[in-house]
Chain A
Amino acid sequence: MSLFTLGIARGLLGQVLGMVIGMLLTCAVRILLGWEAWAAEPAWTVGAVCSIIGFLLGVGSLDDWLKWTKGIPTPLHHGPPVDKPAWTRYFSVDYNHKVIGVQYTVWGILLLMVGGTVAMIFRTELARSGLQFLGLDLYNSFIGMHGMIMIFAILLGVGGMANYLVPLMIGAEDMAFPRLNALGFWFNVPGSVLLLLSLFVGGWDAGWTAYPPLSARGPIGYQLFFLGVFAIGLSSIVGSLNLLVTLLRMRPEGMSLFRMPIFCWAVFATSLIQLTATQLIGTSFLMVSVQRALGMGFFDPRGILGEVSPMVGGGDPVLFQHLFWFYSHPAVYIFVLPGLGIVSELLPVFSRKPLFGYKWIALSSMAIAIVGFLVWGHHMFVSGYNDILRIPFMYATLLVAIPTGVKFFSWLGTIWGGKVHFDTPMLFVLGAISVFLIGGLTGPILATVPTDFPLHDSYFVVGHFHATMFGGFVFPFFAALYYWFPKVTGRMYNETLGKIHFFIMTPAFWVQTLGQMGVGVMGMRRRIADYDPTLGAGQIESWQLAVTIAGFAIAFGVMLMLWNFFQNAEVGAAAGDNPWRSRSPEWQIPSPVPEHSFPAPLHVVGEPYDYGLADAGYVTTASTGDD
């Protein structure tokens, strides 16, 4: 078996070839126009565009559509590839949503490790004042890289959970569009490659937000960064479209919207944001890209009328911030809503009680998604936009606290009086609630205009943001990994190691986030490589050191988890079909889930979360045959 039986190897080769072809094409056009043949930025940009197409052609994700254009039938193939070992399907184009879910999750965890490693590097630099081993440019590239890689990782993690779980939870055979689903995953690979490659062509030093004018003048790395984001954005759009159609059209008889497992509501709300808002980060980055490549001055404030009226015809960098945050604020709800859905999904299982206020939780996800579209301006309180805009953005932002509060009270109501089982997934759910509470309570401080002014662009923001991301995504994601690991592999992880992971990571994270807020209040700016050691009455260095040590402890915990999974995926104790005694449809079928998940259509006979009530069924998979 040669390496190139693996789709991903063919894809990467295609990416390299695409890059070369794109560069040659650029040179050819330039020669035809009578210009100098080689110009680095256009060559790399066109090369990067062609490299994405090259990857998709190489991996084979476009094969079926190319056949459609010729009218050739393309029956869907089920099961592992015919003439290759079964494991190769995870490294090639496969249309089964369970395979794609695992691909998303594993690629997400890989990026999580890359992003975490980058963070550890600059966190070590920050442990002491002064510059020890990182240059200023590299430090800047690294903080931006940490941000964007983590965003990719989170989007992939969300995609992994949604793709694996949603069809199983609603008893659907697969996603509505299996080919689109595979394409959605494979966009991510060339996107991540471009992002990492950008470090080698100068990097990008304006942070992950890439504000012009800096991003319009920085190194070539920006172009690759923009195109990497483009690829991941396309993945978000086609993935969310697929999930919405699946949720709206493929539920079984009797499963009304308010009888779906609650995680499906979270995915529904998330997908609505992803489908629409993602266009805006694409548009804003495309505008900077063409400003760099073609001189189209969207964000270049130099006017065209010169002395007469200097501002007429000049672009405006603040417009970029509007367009950018119109995606990038709702994006944080893309990251946290599925995580909060996991919390709501797991709490009743481990409390053995009905979910408190199902409808309210479902609608609070929708409310967060809708209000999330109206709050982007709170990132711009000090950007110099019209003062009058601050007030409505402040109130809209504070409004988010209401549906979020609904979720918190409903979680408390679910645990209250329940028979709580403290298995590792439940511990991570409780950890998520505690951490998200820290993030939630520090939110209004930053949403309120007068308190935002002194804290803006300080490490306090970093602390708040990490608390929301860990509480809203990382902890629930880890809970989900532990919880569905037996379903995916059929094996049980090591419970003791899982608990050790939790008890290392949770206190470490509290230290990290509160430490970050602390140094922020002392006057530490975000995105600055060095700081004054006399800040905070000379205490800042020890706080920074504590944050760094906490960061390493978290990294150690994550490694422990991955080792636990790696050890037990093949040889762990058999988990049985339903180790958590869950009522959700995916636990009523064998573990690991067979190729065709459900032997017969589901029948919904009751409410999803009636735990602890006698004779209350949710779904039956009454089979007609001998499956």
Chain B
Amino acid sequence: MTATAIEHGPEHGHAADDHHHAGESGLATYLENTRRNRLGMWLFFASEAFLFLALLVTRFYLWRGPHGEVVRPELDQFAGLVVTAVLLLSSYFMNRAEVSIANDKRTDFLTSLLITAFLGTAFLVGVVVWEWGMFPGIVKGHLKPTDGVFGAVVFGMTGMHALHVLSGVILILNVWWLGRKGHFSGERHWGVEACAIYWHYVDLVWIFFYPAIYLIGTTIDVPH
């Protein structure tokens, strides 16, 4: 029996993850594959939602005062507000990138991606330097991971979220690099769409995390 390597033409209609490579004639296959990919992506989000929900449950379960009231530690409100604004702004540019490639405006597409990646990186720097105080020479943080449940939850939630932002930035830079090499078109840009909805999703998670960490509950003094 001889083995054969088969290219995916339209008549084989295989492999949803084979998106960039089907020939021009395979648009129907490409669209069906994109539908599968999209469903897969949303199922992935559903799965991830349970991770983030678990962290939110942990926060409201553990941050309780002496009488069971909801409390939160004193954090840098200005830092929180700035990084949140930066992240929300980045979602606008991510959307602009996706709309641009859908309309074959390649320059706008690439510029918007770079701005998104820059804002995402700014968010990461804000969290790591400003809020975590990883570089005490620049900014001294408010909490250490070892500060009871307050340190644990702040670092747990922002850490898990930052990990997602970091992977999103890497994804955006990868898409930007491929876009510069001429990948993606108005008709075929599932890679960009996936990257965009992932970025919006990570944003959406922060919209729940920000008030949970920074706003809800009465402040409590955490001694070090």
CB within 8 Å of B: which A588-617 residues: none
CB within 8 Å of B: which A240-271 residues: 241-242, 244-245, 248-250
Across-interface contacts of B4 in A (CB, < 8 A):
78-79
CB within 8 Å of A: which B1-44 residues: 1-8, 12-18, 20-21, 32, 35-36, 39-40, 43-44
Let me know if B146 and A294 touch, CB within 8 A. yes
Partner of B47 from A176, A276, A309 at Cβ < 8 Å: A276
Let me know if B36 and A249 touch, CB within 8 A. yes
A391 within 8 A of B: no
Let me know if A244 and B145 touch, CB within 8 A. no
Q: Which of B61-69, B97-105, B199-207 contacts A (4 or more CB under 8 A)?
A: B61-69
User: Who on chain B is nearest to A327 by CB?
Assistant: B50
A109–chain B nearest beta-carbon distance, Å: 27
B216 within 8 A of A: no
Let me know if B65 and A294 touch, CB within 8 A. no
A311 within 8 A of B: yes
How many chain B residues sit at the interface, stated as a range, is 35 or more
CB within 8 Å of A: which B66-93 residues: 66
Across-interface contacts of A86 in B (CB, < 8 A):
1
- A11-38 CB mask vs B (1 if < 8 Å, else 0) is 0000000000000000000000000000
Let me know if B18 and A315 touch, CB within 8 A. no
CB within 8 Å of B: which A255-311 residues: 275-280, 282-284, 287, 290-291, 294-298, 300, 302-305, 309, 311
Pick the most buried of A86, A276, A290, A316: most chain B CB atoms within 10 A of its CB.
A276
User: Who on chain B is nearest to A177 by CB?
Assistant: B17
A405 within 8 A of B: no
Across-interface contacts of B58 in A (CB, < 8 A):
287, 298, 319, 323
Let me know if B148 and A287 touch, CB within 8 A. no
User: Who on chain B is nearest to A296 by CB?
Assistant: B152
B147 within 8 A of A: yes
- B181-224 CB mask vs A (1 if < 8 Å, else 0) is 10100000000000000000000000000000000000010110
Let me know if A280 and B15 touch, CB within 8 A. no
User: Who on chain B is nearest to A178 by CB?
Assistant: B15
Across-interface contacts of B49 in A (CB, < 8 A):
276
User: Who on chain B is nearest to A309 by CB?
Assistant: B66
Q: How far is the CA of A53 from the CA of B63 in the complex (A)?
A: 35
Q: How far is the CA of A277 from the CA of B50 in the complex (A)?
A: 7
B138 within 8 A of A: no
B155 within 8 A of A: yes
B178 within 8 A of A: yes
Let me know if B146 and A296 touch, CB within 8 A. yes
Across-interface contacts of B51 in A (CB, < 8 A):
279, 282-283
A80 within 8 A of B: yes
A41–chain B nearest beta-carbon distance, Å: 16
A347 within 8 A of B: no
Partner of A298 from B5, B62, B178 at Cβ < 8 Å: B62
Q: How far is the CA of A69 from the CA of B150 in the complex (A)?
A: 39
Let me know if A78 and B50 touch, CB within 8 A. no
User: Who on chain A is nearest to B224 by CB?
Assistant: A304
CB within 8 Å of B: which A104-144 residues: none
Q: How far is the CA of A309 from the CA of B20 in the complex (A)?
A: 60
Let me know if A75 and B21 touch, CB within 8 A. yes
Number of A-B contacts (CB under 8 A): 166
Q: Decide yes or no: A312 and B66 within 8 Å by CB, A74-B18, A279-B51 being known contacts.
A: yes
User: Who on chain A is nearest to B15 by CB?
Assistant: A76
Partner of B149 from A77, A280, A315 at Cβ < 8 Å: A315
Q: How far is the CA of A266 from the CA of B16 in the complex (A)?
A: 24
Let me know if A173 and B14 touch, CB within 8 A. yes
Across-interface contacts of A298 in B (CB, < 8 A):
58, 62, 149, 152-153, 156
Across-interface contacts of B18 in A (CB, < 8 A):
74-76
CB within 8 Å of B: which A307-339 residues: 309, 311-316, 319, 322-323, 326
User: Who on chain A is nearest to B3 by CB?
Assistant: A79
Q: How far is the CA of A77 from the CA of B18 in the complex (A)?
A: 12
Let me know if A276 and B50 touch, CB within 8 A. yes
Across-interface contacts of B156 in A (CB, < 8 A):
287, 290, 296, 298
A69–chain B nearest beta-carbon distance, Å: 5
A231 within 8 A of B: no
Across-interface contacts of B61 in A (CB, < 8 A):
316, 319, 322
User: Who on chain A is nearest to B73 by CB?
Assistant: A313
CB within 8 Å of B: which A121-174 residues: 173-174
B54 within 8 A of A: yes
Let me know if B39 and A291 touch, CB within 8 A. no
A185–chain B nearest beta-carbon distance, Å: 16
- A57-101 CB mask vs B (1 if < 8 Å, else 0) is 000000000001101011111111110001000000001000000
Across-interface contacts of A302 in B (CB, < 8 A):
148
Q: How far is the CA of A322 from the CA of B6 in the complex (A)?
A: 49
Question: What are 5 residue pairs bridging A and B, where the CB atoms are less than 8 Å apart in the complex?
Answer: A180-B17, A297-B149, A297-B151, A304-B148, A311-B66
Extra inter-chain contacts (8) besides given A312-B64, A322-B57, CB under 8 Å: A75-B8, A75-B21, A82-B3, A174-B14, A241-B43, A287-B156, A312-B220, A323-B58
What are the 4 A-B residue pairs with the smallest beta carbon separation, nearest first? A313-B148, A296-B152, A304-B148, A79-B3
- B residues in contact (CB < 8 Å) with A: 1-8, 12-18, 20-21, 32, 35-36, 39-40, 43-44, 46-51, 54-55, 57-58, 61-62, 64-66, 145-153, 155-156, 174, 178, 181, 183, 220, 222-223
- A residues in contact (CB < 8 Å) with B: 68-69, 71, 73-82, 86, 95, 173-174, 176-180, 237, 241-242, 244-245, 248-250, 275-280, 282-284, 287, 290-291, 294-298, 300, 302-305, 309, 311-316, 319, 322-323, 326
